[in-house]
Chain A
Amino acid sequence: MKPVYINSIGSVSAQKTFDNKEFLNEIRDYNDTVIHVIDPNYKEYIPPAAARRMARGIKMSTVSSKNALTEAGIENVDAIIVGTGLGCIGDSERFVSDIIKNDEQFLTPTRFIQSSHNTVAGQIALGLGCKGHNFTFVHSAVSFESSLIDAKMMLQNNEADTVLVGGVDELVEHHVTTHRLIGHIKKEPVTSKDLLQSKTEGMVMGEGSHFFVLSNKKSNSCYAQLLAVKTFNTLAKDQVQQKIIALLEKQEMTIKDIDLVILGNNGDVNYDDYYEQLSASLLKNTSQAYYKHLSGEYDTATGFAFWLANKILKTQNIPESVQLNTVEPSKLQTILVYNQYRGENHSLTLIQKC
């Protein structure tokens, strides 16, 4: 089977990640329960006529996908695969609210069209004139990983040579309000630095868009090789360790071969256990990093983790702001990303320097 390379990256997040030349040079600290992306100058990327109907998620994704394509030095791809927990939920919410408020009268099509979960993948295809495979996965915290799995399979089996893969989610008001009601979002603000010590229920919600060009041919811009991705709909706490070992075994590796593990701790007192027990056992002697204090939690937050992992391998540098323990890696060759959300939808992603 052919290897899978991550040839380029593009990101819009709550940190200044839209400039590929930088790598968390300046950290934006937050003290809130929700955090928004730092907007790039969208006008530089999107002509006004095209922008007028675009939801935030599409705008963010236009920027991050364009940056990824530019860095890879290509103008088109064979396939586009997008993961999104909620799609352009801002438009969905407005459409529902208009239905109720106007008693189903005088509704306009634009919001409905943007509500279709595959609108981001569809609009990117429309913009590029890309007639290839076009998939959208919408499965909570494994939406992005599902896309990676699909892309990897396409590249390894010669169904495509170049795939644009991304994850996007946008933060909108009604969704935040309702999820705060059910305790999924923190009720009290917490600073970025104190997130993991908050000892309160729920997460700090964020948003972002992260795109990558994956290929079975290595380009000069290559960041890393994607070795494995696996997801699990359920996993008991004591099973996580075993699944990590099994995944590594398949690659003929042990935990000693992992130079850094990136964990999805989001400061939710009820669920961070999944990570803490690993930190204290299997990963005790492994260098550990975290990121949700920088990105916020959202369905495709692992897109940020994937971006981070690729950046770390390329720059051979772990920014201080993401370090979770004091173990110094002897080299930076192989990174494992582990994530779960509220005890469900676990994912393991393994990448290696190329």
Chain B
Amino acid sequence: MSELKQELKEKIIEQLNLEDVSVDEIANDDPLFGEGLGLDSIDALELIVMLDKDYGIRLADPKEGRKIFESIDTMAAYIAANRTN
């Protein structure tokens, strides 16, 4: 699980071009949106594509993403439970 979390942090930084953020700066329970990392609704759509491409998880409704992307913890838990690849 901690490997997956590390991997997610790296991917988020790369995919979302967060040049000024390092992996160590993201705590597992930090909120990703709003006050935490400051991601927005366009980032959420980018993360939905990442779920599909890298873990074989397809979300039909972008609203589903809100709960999943709350933090690295919630994301990792969801991926671990639903991944198909």
Contact = CB atoms under 8 A, between A and B. Distances in A.
A52 B42 contact: no
Interface string B41-69: 01001100100110000000000000000
B49 A106 contact: yes
Contact of B38 (A49, A105, A106, A110): A49
Given A51-B19, A106-B49, A110-B46, 11 more contacts: A48-B20, A49-B20, A49-B38, A52-B16, A52-B18, A106-B52, A106-B53, A108-B15, A109-B42, A109-B45, A110-B42
A53 interface: yes
B85 interface: no
B45 A52 contact: no
Contacts of A49: 20, 38
A49 B36 CA distance: 13
Contacts of B22: none
B35 to A, nearest CB: 13
Given A106-B49, A106-B53, A107-B49, A113 B19 contact: no
A108 B15 CA distance: 10
B46 to A, nearest CB: 5
A108 B46 contact: yes
Given A48-B19, A48-B20, A53 B42 contact: yes
Contacts of B42: 53, 109-110, 113
A238 B52 CA distance: 61
Q: How large, as a class, is the contact surface on chain B?
A: 10 to 19
Interface of A: 48-49, 51-53, 105-110, 113
B2 interface: no
Interface string B1-32: 00000000000000111111000000000000
A51 B16 CA distance: 11
Interface of B: 15-20, 38, 42, 45-46, 49, 52-53
Most buried by B among A48, A53, A108, A109: A108
Contacts of B53: 105-106
The residue among A49, A53, A105 with the most chain B CB atoms within 10 A of its own CB is A49
B52 A109 contact: no
Nearest to B53: A106
Contacts of A110: 42, 46
Contacts of A107: 49
Contact of B45 (A51, A106, A108): A108
Nearest to A109: B45
B36 to A, nearest CB: 12
A105 B52 CA distance: 10
Contacts of A106: 49, 52-53
Contact of B17 (A53, A105, A113): A53
Contacts of A51: 19
Contacts of B16: 52
Contacts of A109: 42, 45-46
Given A109-B42, A110-B42, A113-B42, A52 B49 contact: no
